[in-house]
Amino acid sequence: MTDNLLSTINYSDNKTIQLIRNTIAPTATADEFGLFIEYCRSTGLNPFKKEIWFIKTPGYRKKDGNMTAPRVQIMTGINGYLTIANRHPEFDGMTCDILMDESKKILGATATVYRKDRKYPSVATALMDEYYKPNPYGNKGVWEQMPSIMIAKCAKSLALREAFPQELGGTYTDAEMPMTHAAPKVVEVQGSAGSQVSKDKLEDVTFTDDDLPW
């Protein structure tokens, strides 16, 4: 990939658009892809630099047993949000505080975004029990290893989206996405005359509409 693609994107170039289609959003319909391109263009985020992603999740099984339709989400990372905020002439900084109880257990985080043209800042709180789902298999993922960083990303995302609704409305960061957990590898061993079978098993995760951020 050339340095030119990584720095700027020419959305008038058909070859570049087709490359985005083939590598970034291969499962998108024509309308979904058009929407994604408009988000990229309007936000100035570069999909080749992984500043913005096209995510199409399969339908999930609800508690009543019915399957939902696939969902499309345009997602970015907290660095993408900060890139947009720092470009805005009215952005005047941000703070983030981790909330803990007396035993130092992390309860959440509160982020505050300041704008020069507003009297009051945008304040948002993200709570651990609303974003973090413990891994039932005991495996340590990024939330277990860096809980304060992850919940801070969620709080910052909420506050930045509130402060810059025109620029960030309709997008979510990767930290805000619902958590799923993979089961550990299961190895079945039969008798000496049998064979050994290894397989990866995924937990059958059931979501409700309230589990999803969009």
pLDDT for 98-157, tens place per residue? Answer: 999 999 999 999 999 999 999 999 999 999 999 998 877 777 888 999 999 999 999 999
If pLDDT is split at 50, 70 and 90, which confidence band does 206 have?
very low
Residue 80 exposed, middle or buried by CB count within 10 Å (0-12, 13-18, 19+) = buried
DSSP the chain: --HHHHH---TT-HHHHHHHHHHT-TT--HHHHHHHHHHHHHH---GGGTSEEEEEEPP-B-TTSPBPPPEEEEEE-HHHHHHHHHHSTTEEEEEEEEEE-TT--EEEEEEEEEETT-SS-EEEEEEHHHH----TT----HHHH-HHHHHHHHHHHHHHHHH-HHHHTT-EEGGGSPP--BPPPEEEE--TTS-EEEE--B------GGGS--
pLDDT at 37: 95
Tell me the angle at which helices 30-43 and 14-23 cross, rounded to the nearest 10 degrees. 110
Average pLDDT, the chain: 83
Q: What are phi and psi of 129, to 5 degrees?
A: -70, -10
Over pLDDT 70: what percentage of the chain?
A: 80
- Residues 161-205: tens digit of each pLDDT: 999 999 888 788 989 987 654 444 444 445 444 444 444 433 444
* Virtual torsion, Cα 186, 192, 193, 197, nearest 10 deg: 10
Q: How confident is the model at residue 13 (pLDDT cuts 50, 70, 90)?
A: very high
Q: Give residue 154's identity as a one-letter amino acid code.
A: C
8 A C-beta contact, residue 134 and residue 143 = no
User: Against a cut of 0.85, is the pTM above it?
Assistant: no
